[in-house]
Structure formats: structure tokens, C-alpha cells
């Protein structure tokens, strides 16, 4: 059977989608305080330590800002394939001017650009890996491992699919209880909202499979360091 077309690039490079994304950002980020803070705390650096980290699929930089705020001597390289997201990010990131730079990189294709250093202290991905095919998730984890300094950490904050229908129904029930508009929105999506949703779930997979990919890449200290319903932070470090 033919696969439906992959709309990921068209969606993330659309001015209209980015405008909607930016308009909803404050509301979304208010609900993400805990994982944003934890992502920074999980990194094993002293508060005043100088290090560079890489944020893949960085978008407008919400995950990076959490880390830059926590570690005043850190520097971020934000990689994304969407000029529109990077343009919006340049504005959002202004409070950290001089401590970040954007790099264009399509994670689905690979072939890392020369302006990404070959070795960094930490790598994060946030809400972007679920847009990659399984094969690409697996190879990307290997490439991330290869770009980390010895002892460097990789953390991924991302949604996962439920292992069975009972779990899925439980996640949906709780989400819809906490946001009474969610069920109505799910049942009455506009065409473009449905396209965004289809893109959101297209390559989303269960957690266990992703932890296997980390193990296969060689990481140690692998754990699910945070989890709330479908959203998780997992990661591991490159051995010393």
C-alpha cells in the first residue's frame, strides 16, 4: 500500500503554520515549565561551567533558553531545517544575544554541516525526533553519540505512542479532563489542523523502541528521567 506523503518539511516551512505556532507558544510553554527546567538540571555541569551544547530541531529555541538561563557561561548551537522557525527564533533568542547561533541542518537527510562542531559537551532534542522515520531516529542517535565529548549527555524531550489501547485511552481521558476543550478540538479539526496532527503522529513510536536505539548506539546511564502521560524525557551519556 502507498504511504501517504510526508508533509513535514512543507508544514514547518510554511509561514502560516509558523505564525500559528508563534501565537500559541506562550500558552504551550506555560504548561511545559517542569520538563524545560528538568532538561537543564539533568545536565551534569557546574552552574558557572563553560560548555557548548547543540539543540537539534531547535525551532524558536524554547529548550535552549532553559539551559542558557540555568548556565550563564554556556553557549548554544541551534540547528533546524526551517528558515521560518529560525527567523522567529532569532527574535525570541535576543535575551541571549552573543551566546547562540543558528545553523541550517535537515536531520532527516543527515550530512552534518561544517558549522556544527565535531565534539560538544551535550546534545538535546526537543519535540523534533518524532518527525523522523525509525531508520533515521536510529542512525541519528549514532551520529549524536559520535558528536559528544567523552562523558557528554544526550537528552530527548518528545511525545511517544502508547504501548496498548488501554494506556492510550487513559492518556486521552486525562488530557481531556485537564483541558475540557481538547475533545471538541480533536473532533472538529480544520483541514490544516488535521494536516498538522497527521504530521505530528506520522512517525511517533513507543518509548521502549527508542531506548533500544540508545542502547544500540552505545549510550550508558540510559533512563526515562521524566514522564507525564505521552511526554517523556529520556537520555544517556557517552562513556568517559
Give contact residues for ligand SAM (rule: CB under 6 A): 8, 12, 57-59, 62-63, 80-82, 85, 105-108, 126-128, 131
End-to-end CA distance of the chain: 46
Q: For residues 193 and 220, which CB has a smaller minimum distance to ligand SAM in the complex?
A: 193
Residues in a beta bridge with 233: 157, 226
The least CB distance from residue 144 to ligand SAM, in Å, is: 13
From CA 33, how far away is CA 214, in angstroms rounded? 26
- Cβ proximity to ligand SAM: between 105 and 219 the closer is 105
Question: Least Å distance between CB 203 and ligand SAM?
Answer: 10
- Scanning 43-133, the segments in alpha helix (DSSP H) are 62-70, 83-92
Task: Evaluate whether 139 touches 107 at the Cβ level (below 8 Å).
Answer: no
Secondary element (H or E) of residue 222: strand 220-228
Neighbours of 136 (CB within 10 A): 17
Q: Please, what is the minimum distance in Å from the beta carbon of residue 100 to ligand SAM?
A: 13
**For ligand SAM, which is the closer residue by CB, 103 or 207?**
103
Nearest distance in Å: CB 149, ligand SAM: 22
Nearer to ligand SAM, 89 or 152 (CB): 89
E strands present in 40-133: 51-56, 74-80, 100-104, 120-126
Nearer to ligand SAM, 12 or 154 (CB): 12
For ligand SAM, which is the closer residue by CB, 45 or 80? 80
Residue 46: CB minimum distance to ligand SAM, A: 25
Could you tell me the smallest distance in angstroms from the CB atom of residue 114 to ligand SAM? 17
Residues forming beta bridges with residue 224, ordered by sequence position: 234
> Which residue number is nearest to ligand SAM in terms of Cβ?
59
Question: DSSP letters along 174-218, please?
Answer: HHHHHSTTHHHHHHT--HHHHHHHHHHHTT--BHHHHHHHHHHHT
Amino acid at each position: 500500500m502507498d504511504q501517504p506523503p510526508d508533509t513535514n518539511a512543507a508544514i514547518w516551512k510554511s509561514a502560516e503554520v509558523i505564525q500559528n505556532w508563534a501565537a500559541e507558544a506562550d500558552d504551550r510553554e506555560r504548561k511545559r515549565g517542569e520538563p524545560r527546567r528538568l532538561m537543564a538540571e539533568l545536565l551534569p555541569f557546574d552552574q558557572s561551567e563553560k560548555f557548548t551544547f547543540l539543540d537539534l530541531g531547535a525551532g524558536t529555541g524554547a529548550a535552549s533558553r532553559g539551559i542558557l538561563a540555568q548556565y550563564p557561561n554556556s553557549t548554544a548551537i541551534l540547528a533546524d531545517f526551517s528558515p521560518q522557525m529560525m527567523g522567529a527564533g532569532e527574535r525570541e533568542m535576543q535575551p541571549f544575544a552573543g551566546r547562540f547561533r543558528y545553523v541550517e541542518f535537515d536531520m532527516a537527510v543527515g550530512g552534518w554541516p561544517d558549522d556544527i562542531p565535531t565534539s560538544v559537551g551535550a546534545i538535546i532534542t526537543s519535540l523534533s525526533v518524532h518527525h523522523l522515520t525509525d531508520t533515521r531516529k536510529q542512525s541519528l542517535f549514532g551520529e549524536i553519540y559520535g558528536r559528544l565529548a567523552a562523558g557528554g549527555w544526550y537528552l530527548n524531550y518528545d511525545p511517544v505512542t502508547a504501548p496498548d489501547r488501554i494506556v492510550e485511552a487513559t492518556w486521552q481521558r486525562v488530557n481531556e479532563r485537564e483541558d475540557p476543550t481538547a475533545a471538541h478540538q480533536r473532533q472538529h479539526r480544520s483541514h490544516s489542523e488535521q494536516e498538522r496532527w497527521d504530521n505530528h503522529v506520522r512517525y511517533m513510536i513507543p518509548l521502549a523502541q527508542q531506548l533500544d536505539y540508545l542502547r544500540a548506539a552505545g549510550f550508558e546511564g540510559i533512563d526515562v528521567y521524566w514522564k507525564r502521560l505521552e511526554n517523556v524525557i529520556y537520555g544517556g551519556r557517552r562513556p568517559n
